[in-house]
Chains A and B, each alone.
Chain A
């Protein structure tokens, strides 16, 4: 018995224009949680995709239980006992939980007929082992993100995985759900499963992992024991410098009111929401995932139709705008989901950046490509976005770099109000603090800013004022000395009176 389950030696992977992995060596021991960290585009997801059979390496070898193997595809990987839980969940929403657990490897009899009972029983067992509160027959589309993730993890039980890889698993989880996930990870660990954990959230890394491997530009910077290192050392290995001031808050100098809403409602999503935000002010919206925060800002922006409510812009009451009107007035919305709402994946960074402001990048309806390129370059440099060129399809970029283009496309037209819905989801520590600095900078330039975040330190760190939402209603507001973790936790864990009564 070796003390290494899986080892990669000198793995190299090149995409057109980028060396994503450059002679990477890495190993996983049974019963350990091994962190993989690095900047956006460092190669973390690519490395894990090669282990899970989604990419074939150009060079190097993979040793599994001491023997060299080639992982032909994701199904083979699963059957070998290597399971990747994706950065973006990859379940079929129309299928049941049981069918998803065994997706593509359904138990069948001689005639190819699905063995439904076996499928259900095995799935139920796996779900039970994880302590999931739902059964195998539920349709996956009706589950929350956290529950869907549990379905993916249930595959680890069902296929008796020896290696489970988590690629940014907590990006859209609430704190409670995160605790639950960590419990599950510790369970897997105690059973001797080797776990790889990718995250940009350093507190999680120090909380749950045993060893940390740092990747930078496709090369391993080193592997260290978590117990024997600290945040500064890891940050330095990741980005070549340390980050001292994590949060910079904009000076609290407010001007005129930019936006005010009163009594905004949207049936089944939220009701009677009222607030205002001023020039130079950063307003935080905090709440658990599903509290209705994104729906509120999407309604203000006009992509959802409101059922009632009034809106003032620069002090004048106006009818609720369409997205086009919102943008032309100077409103910007960085949406929650970059792949569905944020980007046209087959377009390059240049075309994505100009998409909301075509009239600004054209004269007489003819696109001004030069102006487009200039703006693209400016933001690509300012946000340090890693691409091979202005027209590389953004589908080929790493998750964090995609997110940066969503920011670029909304910053480039100098909005008066910018609404940021989870702006740092999936963004590395260096760029994260750059974005926090950017928020402060924008506010000091006189923009009104609304930040939605599920990360408490982030909301507290950047906002002048925080509204908490729960179950579709604003339940409390805090500012100044009231901006404390206890207050926010307290506010969101109490349900609004009207809901409790229902």
Chain B
């Protein structure tokens, strides 16, 4: 009995701790578990969630993508600016194409040329920050006809009572989960992340698989930019700053391993949602907003610790 409890804690310790936290917040506030608040939290996490869905592909291969934050900034500026110039539909097409193209650049450098993913995507982060200012000339952009564009749907409308961005996030998650679980491409990703050498010996083109994970990451960042642009109806030059860390935190918190090969979209959705509820709960409890950053930090450290512990156990026991 005691052993069973210990095992449960070790395997699902974070989730148990999260439940305790939820219960604690719920007892101390009225609004926390109301349908309205829950939908609110989901709406807030839909942008990071959308990005995390794509970045999960990258992380499953044992690599990182730190460029998605400033990519979100650039793509949001693009979608807003193009909305004014070419109309909503063209703006969205251009944004998604740009996202895929930027992802493809990362993909070539990391996948085909074999450069270290941390350095490549960190450099991309910095490059894109510059590119944003170059593109926008340093000023904020706003959608001029904000009152009467159907583009507002993505950030502001609801479908059967569920915010459209939440629907988009969950739909993207469902598609991604299907791809990872049931397709040959998904199997290749787990193979490359689990043991790249053995995968190459099995005829898997690991370079190609890695390349496509970055394209997917760029694509979901493009979708996130559409939600962001639609919600804000404008874009500042720093709008996506720090998002790459929140995204990564959610992925790690869900239990997807940074070492590659183990994890899932379901876990990412869980991790992102947990992060959202923690931050929301802290605000409702009356903590100042910056406390959530400190807590996020602690949560990441603990999650990575558990991940490493589990790995060690698996390898050496």
Contact = CB atoms under 8 A, between A and B. Distances in A.
Residue from B190, B198, B262, B315 having most chain A Cβ neighbours under 10 A = B198
A409 B262 CA distance: 21
Given A344-B190, A345-B195, A365-B183, A355 B202 contact: yes
Contacts of A54: 316-317
Given A301-B201, A365-B183, 6 more contacts: A323-B201, A344-B198, A346-B314, A351-B190, A395-B314, A395-B315
B314 A393 contact: yes
Contacts of A323: 200-203
Smallest CB-CB A-B distances: 3 pairs: A344-B194, A356-B202, A358-B184
B203 A341 contact: no
B262 to A, nearest CB: 6
Interface string A291-305: 000000000010100
Contacts, number: 80
Nearest to A393: B314
Given A303-B200, A346-B262, A395-B315, A362 B183 contact: yes
Nearest to B205: A324
Nearest to A395: B314
Interface in A39-69: 54-55
Given A54-B317, A347-B191, A395-B314, A365 B201 contact: no
A372 to B, nearest CB: 10
Residue from B190, B195, B202, B314 having most chain A Cβ neighbours under 10 A = B202
A347 B184 contact: no
Interface in A377-421: 393, 395, 409
Contacts of B317: 54-55
A351 B199 CA distance: 12
Interface of A: 54-55, 301, 303, 322-324, 326-328, 333, 335, 340-347, 351, 354-356, 358-359, 362, 365-367, 393, 395, 409
Contacts of B191: 344, 347, 355
Given A303-B200, A345-B195, A347-B190, A366 B183 contact: yes
Interface in B159-212: 182-188, 190-191, 194-195, 197-205
Nearest to B259: A346
Interface in B200-251: 200-205
Q: Does more than half of chain A's interface fall in helix, strand or loop, or is it mixed?
A: mixed
A344 B199 contact: yes
A345 B199 CA distance: 11
B216 to A, nearest CB: 15
17 contacts: A54-B316, A303-B201, A327-B203, A328-B203, A333-B201, A340-B198, A342-B201, A344-B191, A344-B194, A345-B194, A347-B190, A347-B191, A355-B187, A356-B204, A358-B187, A365-B185, A395-B315
Contact of A355 (B185, B186, B199): B199
Interface string B15-38: 000000000000000000000000
A351 B198 CA distance: 13
A356 B314 contact: no
Nearest to A372: B187
B281 interface: no
A324 B200 CA distance: 9
B201 A341 contact: yes
B195 A343 contact: yes
Contacts of A327: 202-203
